[in-house]
Amino acid sequence: MSERTDLFMFWNLYEAAVDRLGGDDARWEAQRELILDLRPRVLLTTEGWGWSRDGHKLFEDTRAALAMDGALFPARTGCDKAVFWQPDITALETENEAERAPHDESHDGPGTESHDESGNEPGTGPGSEPGGGTAAGAAPPAGAAPPAGGAPAPAYDTGPGRGAGYREPAAWHGHGAATLLLPGWSHPLRCVVAHLDPYSPTGRLVESDRLRQYADPAGPPTLIALDANTVPPGDPEPDWSRVPRHRRDDHLAPGADTADRTPLHRLTGPVHDPLFTDAGAHAGDRAPTFGFHPPGEAPRRIDLFLLGPGLAARLARYRAVDHPRLTAGPDRPAASDHRPVTVELRRR
């Protein structure tokens, strides 16, 4: 009898949502075709630019087109993330890191409930859209401008009791989590989607330290899918000469001319004392997932699945997807500048 597995997929959707906001659905149609070809049980996405606008219209359109249930995690930068799952999967809990206030004792760490005592998610009261988006007529969150207007400004939180002048840096794009119960699984699985700071090694380090808390064995087994914006330990050094000089230090370790690998090392840990397992490295596949087009990038692997304690032994297959829709044609755009990555996990 063949073993039963479930397919999980992560994809950075590039500027498809920006195109859609401008009335062009061609890139999204290419993405939809590829996703429906692969039929993931769980799909984790980032760069859903503007998905939280207009009552989450683009997110709901996406969910309906894929015939999947899902949770949207609005980002302060407008780079919204989401987790989608097939209708026979039960969602037990969702959590959006971007909705937390720093040092808020009502959120003691990953795995805490993201719903208030009334049963509403934070940000769903008067003046807010469900899931933390801003309602029409309310002031938008800091940094919420879409990328078409240039890079959004960094967002800040005002810490409780800090005074009106205090501002604490918030995570750039943040992360979200959905705890799911899949048929055939004996326990829930927490699926985390994250997108680390594209500009700052310091920002990425802070964000990875927050994600590291998901390795707590007291919580459910956890899978993290992320655009790390840096390469993991053990991967080949990218050819940084292909990257414009003014952007090179976005990717290099401070004071060095080599890649900033510390954030991912903090998540994976040393070989003798591991935390999360890099699925691609574990499978022996370090093929680049980004940097093929447009020009001005160095091919490298920055789209990752990290498997929490106990999940690595259940990895049946990892793949960096190659598909015709990832290449532009004479009359159609490439689906994305990132390759999707997938893992198949054995049921237990």
- Domains defined for the chain, CATH in brackets: 5-111+168-346 (3.60.10.10)
Residue 75: pLDDT band by 50, 70, 90 thresholds?
very high
Average pLDDT on 223-243 reads 97
Question: Quick one: pLDDT at residue 306?
Answer: 98
Residue 32: pLDDT band by 50, 70, 90 thresholds?
very high
The CA angle 74-79-80, to the nearest 5 degrees, is 35
Average pLDDT on 68-95 reads 96
pLDDT, tens only, 253-277? 999 999 999 999 999 999 889 999 9
> Which residue shows structure tokens 């969702």?
94
Residue 348: pLDDT band by 50, 70, 90 thresholds?
confident
Average pLDDT on 41-54 reads 97
Question: Quick one: pLDDT at residue 151?
Answer: 37
Average pLDDT on 156-168 reads 41
How far is it between the farthest Cα atoms of the chain?
64
Strands 222-227 and 69-73: unpaired
Task: Specify the higher pLDDT residue, 217 or 166.
Answer: 217
Closest CA to 305 of 330, 325, 285: 285
Question: Quick one: pLDDT at residue 100?
Answer: 57
- Answer whether residue 22 shows pLDDT above 90: yes
Residues 129 and 124: their CA atoms lie apart, in Å, by 6
Residue 319: pLDDT band by 50, 70, 90 thresholds?
very high
- Answer whether residue 344 shows pLDDT above 50: yes
Closest CA to 132 of 103, 97, 105: 97
